[in-house]
Chain A
């Protein structure tokens, strides 16, 4: 009776010691003996049929008494190359010999009539298999040829070439099927279909035949070795019994016989040639060996193909990196240059989306550069903040279940199940991020939806479709894993980017050095202009005052008037020069920040302006005490002075007043200040003549005046330009809200303090 398989058994599948099942398939017999004495130590329970005596009669006897004379010597001679055809009790058999648990293990498989009739050797079978391979071009064609050749040789209904991915889930990449048999080409299988210890056996023992899935296993006698107290290790055995779970799985797939050959690449399990026959069908040892040799040839060819693919990919990566570090980057930011190569960037690691957070795009407020399918800018910013707080070994991070370690993106597996991130700069949060969607959405999962499930009460869960559903559930939220090559490519990009960003920074430094030099030259020029032009102007003023003193009475009222006008013009030019000079110096002003009571500052300004305010009959209103805020008090005093004196100046109607106030954090902001995020907003308001909207910006231009020079106390038109520049040096903003005849309100904010 075949043991039933419960759900619990399924979960232990991964731990089942399949090499110690203690039984063999019934298609042959096993005799294990001591190498020194030839005393038989273990036999399979079915020896009687072939050797004419039961286990009890054979155990302890020397092998030479059991088998024909000379047979062992022939098998030993053929041990290396493979199976030897021998005759036992009148039956032609394939004989295989190997060592296990200190015993010599002889396996005898009676040959089927068709194999007996053919005098084909393994070598000629290999010749038959290998010749089509020479025609194939490329991995896919190669595998297809191999599948066709193997199916022809072993006469199975279906031969699949099955390739393992990095997570050991498999994909059918080539297939040869008899007409009318289900095709599995392109489908993916869960890694759990071939558990780890089975993969280990596939690596060690590359050929595996289950000639009849319904055949009952034959027990070994004795079932347990006296020394190790466990069954004989059948790892190297061709007849090794099969896990009932695996048989169940095959039966559920409607398979009657299964044959597989491992494909190894550099000693690692790369894939399998998995062959199914719907009815039981054996494959002779010679043909098995031919397939094994073919698989080895195939493996060599695959290694070569993969290497050439890898070097092609590397060449593409190199081309990309080259494109990124081209020397003409000067005018473009690195981000712009990268954007132009979006498809290459994605391809670099086989991602569906890339986010770049670098240079000007860094910082909590800035937007990352998003290419392809990625989370939103906001999600990327949050992710980068989380990544920056983590210790990243080698400044790289990769995960194929991002949602598990970073729950905020758990619901975004559709775009970001997999994340590969490299940090470009250890000091600032600059990152390149690659995203992959969850794999369950991107691959076709195996199982034939058209195939009716065999009615087997109690075993429903084992049908392939159910098993794949379980797998699909498992793969939810997981991307395909990142390979070593992906990581290497990401690191290479990092290297290139760091170079690019550094070069860009160097470029900026060079520009700023040039700018500093031209600034210095401008300063010198400004200083010279201010000094050299002021000198003669003072001369004009002085001579006109000498004239007035010495010859005033003789000039008469007209002459004196003209002389006064001359003096006024000279004086005005003198002031303009002063303002120009001051404005030109603002660019290199170093602010000295300190906590400043704005109330004191304004009161101080009002004292200085006192006479002028009184003269103009201007009332100053201070609805509430101004707060204390960090600023350069000398400069901001200048701003207050300018705004308050302007407000007092441009009024014609009574009563004249100026209101000085502020809007604090969380207080309702006037419409003209809705966009402001600064916690404090200062204002100076007047009911004066107002400014038409088209001039709201113009008034801040240097020497731009809206009124005749002598009207409204005759400003030079530099005051607001200087005030705005001073505020912007603080990191704040200065603007006006006004309408003609409706008065004006000037607003300004201050920055958050000196930059570290």
Chain B
């Protein structure tokens, strides 16, 4: 089944999201990669990711060591084969430049990483409600 790809270098952030995802009735599995390089390998099915399925949705952190989120986003959206996959930026940065830049590069939405606890839970729920209930994703099997 096509997964949701989580690109996140912070373990606690990834873990928190995975915990919340587990409690939500998420119709797709969540796959996490730790950096931009792995994300591109995954998308282009290189190396260890040769056999994976392309994700239906990408949750992308902006500030990462090495290839950062903006570079991943730009590469992805410049590729006709991949640009259809919706990308949700998930960042702790409130910089206007980061927000505008992400949209300019083709991000489908920009979510601000909230503090832990109820706010993070609420953000995750909203994300689920929109992308998996309200919206129709490309190449997604209709929900049973």
A538 touches which of B19, B95, B116 (Cβ 8 Å) = B116
Residues of B within 8 A of A541 (CB): 115-117
**Assuming the A-B contacts A546-B15, A574-B115, are A539 and B92 also in contact, with contact meaning beta carbons closer than 8 angstroms in the complex?**
no
| Chain A, residue nearest B93 (CB) | A531
Residues of A within 8 A of B51 (CB): none
Residues of A within 8 A of B116 (CB): 538, 541-542, 545
- Quick one: which of A522-543 are within 8 Å of B by CB? 527, 531, 534-535, 538-543
Residues of B within 8 A of A538 (CB): 10, 12-13, 92, 113, 115-116
Chain B 39-76 interface 0/1 with A at a Cβ cutoff of 8 Å (1 = within)? 00000000000000000000000010000000000000
Residues of A within 8 A of B19 (CB): 546
A535 touches which of B10, B15, B95, B117 (Cβ 8 Å) = B10
Give the CA-CA distance A535 to B8 in the complex, in Å: 12
Residues of B within 8 A of A546 (CB): 15-16, 19
A571: Cβ under 8 A from any B Cβ: yes
A542 touches B15 (CB 8 A): yes
B81: Cβ under 8 A from any A Cβ: no
**Assuming the A-B contacts A527-B95, A531-B63, A546-B19, are A539 and B13 also in contact, with contact meaning beta carbons closer than 8 angstroms in the complex?**
yes
* Shortest Cβ gap from B127 to chain A (Å): 17
| Chain A, residue nearest B117 (CB) | A545
Give the CA-CA distance A76 to B15 in the complex, in Å: 129
Q: How large is the interface on A (under 10, 10 to 19, 20 to 34, 35 or more residues)?
A: 10 to 19
**Assuming the A-B contacts A531-B63, A571-B115, A574-B115, are A542 and B13 also in contact, with contact meaning beta carbons closer than 8 angstroms in the complex?**
yes
Residues of A within 8 A of B11 (CB): 539
- Quick one: which of B1-39 are within 8 Å of A by CB? 10-13, 15-16, 19
| Chain A, residue nearest B95 (CB) | A527
Residues of B within 8 A of A527 (CB): 95
Residues of A within 8 A of B95 (CB): 527
Residues of A within 8 A of B15 (CB): 542, 546
| Chain B, residue nearest A528 (CB) | B63
| Chain A, residue nearest B19 (CB) | A546
Interface SS of B by simple majority: loop
* Shortest Cβ gap from B29 to chain A (Å): 21
Give the CA-CA distance A545 to B115 in the complex, in Å: 11
B92 touches A531 (CB 8 A): yes
Residues of A within 8 A of B12 (CB): 538-540, 542-543
Give the CA-CA distance A545 to B15 in the complex, in Å: 12
Chain B 113-132 interface 0/1 with A at a Cβ cutoff of 8 Å (1 = within)? 10111000000000000000
Give the CA-CA distance A236 to B10 in the complex, in Å: 112
**Assuming the A-B contacts A546-B15, A546-B19, are A535 and B92 also in contact, with contact meaning beta carbons closer than 8 angstroms in the complex?**
yes
Instruction: Give the one of B10, B63, B115 with max A CB within 10 A.
Output: B115
Give the CA-CA distance A615 to B12 in the complex, in Å: 35
Give the CA-CA distance A179 to B13 in the complex, in Å: 114
Residues of B within 8 A of A539 (CB): 10-13
Give the CA-CA distance A102 to B129 in the complex, in Å: 122
Give the CA-CA distance A546 to B116 in the complex, in Å: 10
Instruction: Give the one of B92, B116, B117 with max A CB within 10 A.
Output: B116
Residues of A within 8 A of B63 (CB): 531
- Quick one: which of A597-643 are within 8 Å of B by CB? none
* Shortest Cβ gap from B35 to chain A (Å): 14
A534 touches B13 (CB 8 A): no
A542 touches B93 (CB 8 A): no
Residues of B within 8 A of A574 (CB): 115
* Shortest Cβ gap from A530 to chain B (Å): 9
Residues of A within 8 A of B92 (CB): 531, 534-535, 538
Give the CA-CA distance A399 to B19 in the complex, in Å: 89
Q: A531-B63, A538-B116 are in contact. List 13 more A-B contacts (CB 8 A).
A: A527-B95, A531-B93, A535-B13, A535-B92, A538-B10, A538-B13, A539-B10, A541-B116, A541-B117, A542-B15, A545-B116, A546-B15, A571-B115
* A-B pairs with lowest CB-CB distance, top 3: A539-B12, A542-B12, A541-B116
A-B contact pairs, 20 of them (CB 8 A): A527-B95, A531-B92, A534-B92, A535-B10, A535-B92, A538-B10, A538-B12, A538-B113, A538-B115, A539-B12, A541-B115, A541-B117, A542-B12, A542-B13, A545-B16, A545-B116, A545-B117, A546-B15, A546-B16, A574-B115
